[in-house]
Structure 1
Amino acid sequence: MAAYFFASPIDVDIKLENEEGRKQVEMKSDKEKTVSCPVYYDGDSVAGTVAIRVRDGKKLQHDGIKVEFVGSIELFYDRGHHHEFLSLSQELAAPGEMRQAQTYDFNFKNVEKQFESYQGINVKLRYFIRVSISRRMADVAKERDIWVHSFRLPADTNATIKMEVGIEDCLHIEFEYNKSKYHLKDVIVGKIYFLLVRIKIKHMELSIIRRETTGSPPNQYIESETITKFEIMDGAPVRGETIPIRLFLGGFDLTPTFRDINKKFSTRYHLNLVLIDEENRRYFKQQPSASQPSPFTLLLFYGPRPAHGRNCDCA
């Protein structure tokens, strides 16, 4: 019953221009529900309408109505302290009185959106429209999320990854991957050479590890999750044998690589190769620390932005 007396008597509806014609991305809300967000790109204008209705024929006395376009980083261990890296504002109405429904237009033109939207384990980077109605008792606010894709391409240099690892007098192998930078629909092509084998290897696994780092010491949190893991060899290899690798990235839930975004978080991807012997002992290259990336750290990015339309299959 108490909720009835304190409920807002105002309905606010935010509609985005041409959102039906845009690609949609499903995003988890704070209540573990999913919401559908239209996709925008760096430089796109963000325009639409705001409809405000007062319920039950009441009047609304307000101290002004504004709409904002906000880019924010939310660290889950620091709830309540959102870090806004982008904030644009437009006034919709001066202080006054509202007795009937009103609709207002807004347009944030050619907005620079320097970061990709991201929803991770301990951090969320989001862009949203926020409508605020200032009142004497309690303000009314309504938010509407969008999703931003970035098509900033890395530098042209894209050298192969090559490294020799092993255990002295027991195992010596050489890894080689065709490049270190991949777009999200790319194929990792590589091979593994066995130069010395004196261990009874049973099989070999390849995995992609996502490593999310938030905050900075001493309040730094690191989360690792295995995106995929599969067997690439079954049976004992012999000296001189070569194992080919072909890994299609398009079927996995990957994001671009994030490097020290606004000094708040990073997300990197690593290739991890594990050999298991007949006694189930595991041999692998230790995963990198945040300060010492592995030579098998992958730089992931979106391919070139399509020349036309918004409905590219790029998520």
Structure 2
Amino acid sequence: MFSSAELYFDRGNFYDFTSLVRELEVPGDIYERKTYPFEFSTVEMPYESYNGVNVRLRYILKVTISRNYVSNIVESQDFVVRNYTPLPSINNSIKMEVGIEDCLHIEFEYNKSKYHLKDVIIGKIYFLLVRIKIKNMELEIRRRESTGSGTNTYVETETLAKFELMDGAPVRGESIPIRLFLSPYELTPTYRNTNNKFNVKYYLNLVLVDEEDRRYFKQQEITVYRLLETT
């Protein structure tokens, strides 16, 4: 059994970080169908399986039958690893003020900074000053995948969701509620410096569009995790 990270821009190179071998049979002859039980009882699998734009992290079972004078028989099978996390003991809300001097000043708040895959983002946008004509406002969920390091760093950003918060011009003092369910979207947990090969981070991107189609946005990172559900 082994696990590896494969970077697509570095094809042919696999970075193994777990490798265990079990010998199932001593040298000899096999003339009939045989079944071999096996077990890997103490295996560290610290990272979830991942299949991204530029990288994939795999866990693989491989069986090799070594033969003399002819090529070996090799079969492999991927399996998926999921890692679960309990509710965080500290989960602070996010509060920020952004704007354009003498034109726009807004305050936004998200109820927390860490969300599980089936969570709900709850928050509000409060307009303190509005002197430009806003046409609409939306909230995006973005995933940023970075692989490699230094000059060989590759970054891919995907917009996974767009949620319209407002259609029409706001007025000073107006408050816009946010309620965005995460379960319909194909999210993964956040991956931070996974085996020193890649990162996967998530961002909430607040976008305002004025009547001249100019876009104003503010991005905020959040942490996504797979919740350990207890009965």
> What's the TM-score, normalizing by structure 2?
0.95
Superposed, 1:53-64 pairs within 5 Å as: none
Superposed, 1:115-126 pairs within 5 Å as: 115-126=47-58
The equivalent of 2:29 in structure 1 is 97
Q: 1:238 and 1:305 mapped to 2: Cα distance?
A: 43
Q: 1:276 and 1:301 mapped to 2: Cα distance?
A: 31
- Tell me if structure 1 keeps the 8 A contact 2:109–2:124: yes
Mean Cα deviation higher: 224-233 or 97-106 = 97-106
**Quick check: 1:128 aligned with 2:60?**
yes
| Paired letter, 1:300 | V
**Quick check: 1:112 aligned with 2:36?**
no
- Cα distance, 1:141 vs structure 2: 1.3
Superposed, 1:274-313 pairs within 5 Å as: 274-285=207-218, 296-306=220-230
* Root mean square deviation of aligned Cα: 1.4
Q: 2:174 and 2:230 mapped to 1: Cα distance?
A: 42
Q: Deviations over 1:110-142 (max 9, x none)?
A: 433111111111111111111012233322211
Q: Which runs of 5+ in 1 are unaligned?
A: 1-68, 288-295, 308-315
Superposed, 1:187-202 pairs within 5 Å as: 187-202=120-135
- Cα distance, 1:101 vs structure 2: 2.4
Q: Which runs of 5+ in 2 are unaligned?
A: none
Q: 2:91 and 2:115 mapped to 1: Cα distance?
A: 9
Q: Secondary structure at the match of 2:12?
A: coil
The equivalent of 1:207 in structure 2 is 140
Give 4+ residue runs of structure 1 displaced > 4 Å after superposition.
Answer: none
- Cα distance, 1:196 vs structure 2: 0.5
- Tell me if structure 1 keeps the 8 A contact 2:189–2:226: yes
- Cα distance, 1:95 vs structure 2: 2.3
- Cα distance, 1:158 vs structure 2: 0.8
Superposed, 1:144-293 pairs within 5 Å as: 144-153=77-86, 155-285=88-218
- Tell me if structure 2 keeps the 8 A contact 1:184–1:250: yes
Q: Secondary structure at the match of 1:92?
A: coil
Q: Secondary structure at the match of 1:73?
A: strand
| Paired letter, 2:125 | I
- Tell me if structure 1 keeps the 8 A contact 2:144–2:200: yes
Q: Secondary structure at the match of 2:24?
A: strand
Q: 1:240 and 1:111 mapped to 2: Cα distance?
A: 56
Q: 2:88 and 2:155 mapped to 1: Cα distance?
A: 27
**Greater length-normalized contact order (CA 8 Å, ≥ 6 residues apart):** 2
The equivalent of 1:290 in structure 2 is none
